[in-house]
Amino acid sequence: MKSAGAQPLVLDLDLSEVAAATTVVERTLAAFGRIDALLNIAGAVPQIDLFEMTDAQWDGGLALKLHGARRLTIAAWPALKEAKGAVVLTSGNSALFPKAPYAAVGTINAAIAALAKAFSDRGITDGVQVNSVLPGPVMTGRRESYLAHWAPLHNMTVEEATAKFPQDAGIARYGRPEEIAELMAFLVSPGARWMTGSMLRMDGGEVKSL
C-alpha cells in the first residue's frame, strides 16, 4: 500500500466482538476524516458436517462473518452516507448450492448476500452503493492449511489433493486473491456507481446453473 502512495492504518481487533466495529470507524475517521468505501472480507466459517457442527461453532461463524460485517457497515453508514460511498460484503458461491458436509458455509454466505441486498435497499435512499461478491475456490493460506489437513485423512499427498479439487469442481484452476481484489476495486470505483444490490459471482465457472 505504501508503494502505491497510500497510508495504511493497521488495527488489531476481533470483529466478532461487539465493540470492535465502533473502534474501527472511530479510529479511521480520526486518521483520515472520511470513509469512501468499506470492504467486508473478515470471516472463517468451519467446514463441518451439518449433523456434527455444534451450536458454539455456528455462533462463532455467525458472529464474525455475518454480524461483524453487519455491525461494521452500520457503524460506518453515516460516514459512507456523507461521502456517497460504497460497500462490498464478501459471501461465497456456496450460497447458491449449500451442501450438508459444510452446511454452515453455504447458510451464512446466503445470509450475507441477503444482508447486502437489504443494505442496498436503504442505500438507494441514502446514496450508498452496496454489492456482494461470491468467490469460488481461491488459493489462500487458509485453503492451503485446509488441504494440508484434508489430504492425509484421504490417503493423498497435499499435491494430489490440491490437484483433485479443481478437477472435481469442473474448473481449470483455483482463483487468485488478486483477482477478487480487482473485482472489489471495480465495485467501489466510479465506473460501477450505478451497480447496487448485485451479487457478483467469480468462481471460474464452478456454479453451472443460471
Q: What's the pLDDT tens digit per position in 10-60?
A: 999 999 999 999 999 999 999 999 999 999 999 889 889 999 999 999 999
CATH 3.30.930.10 fits 13-134, yes or no: no
Rounded mean pLDDT of the chain?
Answer: 96
**Pairwise pLDDT comparison (114 vs 3), residue with the higher score:** 114
Is the alpha carbon torsion for 145, 147, 153, 157 positive or negative? negative
Model confidence at 6, pLDDT cuts 50, 70, 90, reads confident
CA distance 146 to 144: 5
CA distances from 27 to 6, 64, 75, 84 (A): 17, 20, 12, 20
Model confidence at 4, pLDDT cuts 50, 70, 90, reads confident
pLDDT at position 99, please? 93
Interior CA angle at 140 toward 36 and 178, to 5°? 45
Q: What's the pLDDT tens digit per position in 59-103?
A: 999 999 999 999 999 999 999 999 999 999 999 999 999 999 999
> In the chain, pLDDT over 70 holds for what percent of residues?
100
pTM: 0.93
